[in-house]
Structure 1
Amino acid sequence: MSSPRRFAWLLVLGFLVAANAGIAYALFVPGPSVLTVAFLDVGQGDSIFVRSPDGVEMLIDGGRDRSVLRELPRFMGPFDRSIDLVIETHPDADHIGGLPGVLASYTVSYFLEPGKSSDSSMYAQLESSEEKEKGMQELLAQKGMRIHLGSEVYADILHPGDNVEQLRETNDASVVMRLVYGDTEFLLSGDAAGWIEKRLVEEYGSSLQSDVLKAGHHGSKNSSEEVWLAAVNPDTVVISAGKGNSYGHPHAETLERIRNEGASIVSTIESGTITFTSDGTTITRKN
């Protein structure tokens, strides 16, 4: 959020949504008229930049290295040195490796993470970076949380629940969220595995439907299950992965499942950074 807008934003904390939504956060700033969602080309990893029509900026993951710092100025400009919200979906290196650099280079107001720890040196580096950010408020992602990115855009946290540390794999703790602007939706699933997808389908059913789906775990064989794809029913599936990666992402079986569902596939391997804009009615791919 650039400095001329900094004075206009307002955070409202509290239990604003009853029933199943336990916590809601609202951010308000003036800004452009469209929602921008950019899947950044950070090689074998994930990083997603979001700017709401009200100018609220959110970064979801930071890739494996400092590549994210090369990509962000394309969307934020050279003089915008602050980000309203940074989200760590889970503590794997290919999602958090670039975040220490982000915290060092930008003023971050809020940092949201799932509460799953890791023994890796990269996670320790991120923890150290968070401790240095004295003005940054750290938040715990919880199922039922709704994050308002201005007056018209919100993101619902669908996973994880309150048993994060009991989950064996870090991928299983991935923050899964559904970003909504008007009649358009983006479903962002981190590295969530197939069993999580199936559980979410059981819980949410057809309400998962979204125009754009980010394939779980970079298009691995164990994500993007048929039942999940049928429930989400996306027009487009985005795969964030690195060229020639050693994991075989995206897997041929996953690509076949997506095509059988009738969705188009776009990958950072082939297209580089992939940018969508939404006016609340129509989603347009910019590259």
Structure 2
Amino acid sequence: MGMKRLVTVISFMMIFLTLGCEKNQVIEEEFTTLSIGLMPAVDTAPILMAEKEGFFEELGLDVNIEIYSNASNRQSALQSQTIDGAMTDFIAVATNVDGGFKIKATTMTDGIFPVLSTQEVIDKKEIKVGMMEVSVSNYLIDKWLSDRYEIEKVFINEIPARLAAIASGELDMGLFPEPVASNGEVQGLIKTMYGQDDAYSPDCLVFTEKAITEKSEAVAKFHEAYNKAVKVINEDPTKVIDLLVEKIPNIAPEAKELILLPTYKEAALPSEEYLQEIIDWTSETLNKSLSVKPLDLIDGQFIN
């Protein structure tokens, strides 16, 4: 009788342990991991806010976020499939897709791009401007400054190196994302806004074809969390400043009062006409005809 009771107890324990393991397995499977590469820019705010508020977790997402100071490193991570998605711009998307790299922009992001300069060059006609070649920085410098100055473009991918070149007088001007631009202002550089009145943003969030195909539900939930975070930010924009200073590396505490913020918008994509304008500019700038159309650059299934 004692032996039967022991066998029964052991059997119940085995069933309990099996059910427990299955339950844990189900919990683990409910969470899908997405890895996202960001740049040190105010565009990151909805993503950082979604993480802080627990919106990703509520939707069953485990989102790994890495902030890159060098767009080339972010690009390498994207192409090697180390990350599923990244913050970039439509100029880069056009050249990537034309080159055969299968990514799609799923939403615009909202950035602010002040120009930093030294006191001595404000009245100059010929200037040396630091930027990244295939990027929003080159596009916006042309758009904002080409009718004001004769521009010698100097391509420096690393944002800290570009900032240092202006501070040392090696360059006259450079375009930087906010809040990095406010770091330069703290160092004594002049921060000037030349544009920022477009209906559409040249900045965007992209995902690889592999992520869109294999993790489409997770990507959809990511955008849902993004939109929830935008609503939180717009209710109280002051929350964003502290979050950006906390999360973006090497932002000086003194820059906190200087940071300019965009009006954050829920996930959306630009018009085909706007994208064609960017494709045409990129073709002309690179002296290469791009064989892509606007709809080749975007995937609208994740926006309302």
Normalising by the smaller structure, the TM-score range is under 0.3
Please give the TM-score of this superposition, normalised by the length of structure 2: 0.24
Please give the TM-score of this superposition, normalised by the length of structure 1: 0.25
Give the helix-richer structure, 1 or 2. 2
